[in-house]
Amino acid sequence: MTSHATTPRALGFRMPAEWERHEATWLSWPRADGISFPERYDVVPGLWSAMAAALSHGEAVHVNVTDAAQEASVRGALAAAPDARLERVVLHRIPTDEPWCRDHGPTFVVRNGELALVDWRYNAWGGKYPPWDRDDRVPEQIAALLGVRRFEPGIVMEGGSFDVNGRGTVLTTESCLLNPNRNPGLDRGAIETYLRDYLGVAAVVWLGEGIVGDDTDGHVDDLTRFVGPRAVVTMVEPDPADENHRLLADNVRRLQAARDQDGRPLEIVELPMPGPVVWDGQRLPASYANFYVGNDVVLMPTFAHPNDAAALAILARCFPGRRIAGIDATALVWGLGAFHCATQQQPAVGPA
């Protein structure tokens, strides 16, 4: 374990909120022989191209690729993407096992114009999907590429399992962070200490369970997200017959009782669920909360459901001045993730 005196928090670093200014967004391009998209890979490159194209208008986009062959394929896919700012998309030979950069990528932290990163250990959501050794090495390679300080907590943690307001509060879930398949020797208090020390936060808000179909054991980025220093959007399911109804109602109750780093209650905005999305008999973790906030655009997953329009309108009110881009993510969620799972923000450290 890194000593307390050398943790990011002790040295004055913090993890900025996602809506704070980015220098870039990082993506890991999916491999055709990966396990994330069985029988549906053909539509996947177009989704990664759409993400890169939309984000490239407001920030640089860094893309991890495995080798020369994949690099050539990715360049071809990006060249075919409408409106992509190709001069702002940079490819790096950083091989990965699967494409979920939120979870295997670094967590960036900042202080007084300095960028650093946290390199958590990664074990593919509790050892579910070997191999994961290439994914686990991604933060180390990005740190070397950027020439920035790298903090190593020595514990397993995925980026989708927490969400911060950039002011000192973090959201997370018991079902994920207290699961013995991650860090069996750590209790709630120890996990809270790591979150405070490595994200630069003071308050930890614990939610309960994740949505049905989520193989991550309940990542918070499918449930509840900060959209302002005190405001959160949280998923709700009004149908009592739906499997998600009870667990989402419990999370709302927890949010109502929660307080931020200054002891103030949270402002809660409810987002409707898109209803069951089922493929090959399997209910998938479809959620509008898995959006990603870029500098000038918010990428929101849609699912050809009547609630798509309501969710787009809610996020438009939460992020005035940003374009809300709804992109059909039905094929993407077959890989059990969406836009937030696929992205990782690198915050800006200089003038806006």
- Evaluate if residue 242 carries a pLDDT over 90: yes
Q: Is 341 a catalytic residue?
A: yes
CATH hierarchy code of domain 4-347? 3.75.10.10
User: 200-239, pLDDT tens digit by residue?
Assistant: 999 999 999 999 999 999 999 999 999 999 999 999 999 9
pLDDT class of 148 with cuts at 50, 70, 90: very high
What gap in Å lies between CA 236 and CA 267, rounded to an integer?
Answer: 15
Q: Residue range 28-48: average pLDDT?
A: 92
- Nearest CA to 83 out of 317, 344, 323 is that of 323
Q: Residue range 257-261: average pLDDT?
A: 98
- Evaluate if residue 134 carries a pLDDT over 80: yes
Mode of pairing for the β-strands spanning 89-93 and 60-65? parallel
pLDDT class of 2 with cuts at 50, 70, 90: very low
What gap in Å lies between CA 124 and CA 25, rounded to an integer?
Answer: 21
Segments in the chain forming alpha helices (H): 44-55, 68-79, 101-104, 124-127, 133-136, 138-146, 174-177, 188-199, 244-257, 307-318, 339-342
Q: Is 323 helix (H, G, I), strand (E, B) or coil?
A: strand
Mode of pairing for the β-strands spanning 169-173 and 162-164? antiparallel
Q: Mutual orientation of helices 44-55 and 68-79 as an angle, nearest 10°?
A: 70
**What pLDDT shows up at residue 5?**
64
Tally Cβ neighbours within 10 Å of residue 78: 21
Q: Which residues contact 143 (CB under 8 A, 6 or more apart)?
A: 106, 117, 119, 149, 150
The pTM assigned to this predicted structure is 0.96
pLDDT class of 352 with cuts at 50, 70, 90: very low
User: 160-174, pLDDT tens digit by residue?
Assistant: 999 999 999 999 999
**What pLDDT shows up at residue 1?**
40
**What pLDDT shows up at residue 39?**
83
- Nearest CA to 331 out of 286, 273, 298 is that of 286
pLDDT class of 280 with cuts at 50, 70, 90: confident
Least confident of 115-129, 188-202, 273-287, 296-310: 273-287
Q: Residue range 322-339: average pLDDT?
A: 94
Torsion (CA) 6, 9, 13, 18 in degrees, nearest 10: 140
CA distances from 189 to 85, 138, 220, 282 (A): 46, 28, 19, 35
Residue boundaries of the structural domains of the chain: 4-347
User: 188-198, pLDDT tens digit by residue?
Assistant: 999 999 999 99
Q: Following DSSP, what letter does each residue of 170-230 receive, concatenated?
A: EEEEHHHHT-TTT-TT--HHHHHHHHHHHHT-SEEEEE----TT-TTS--GGGTEEESSSS
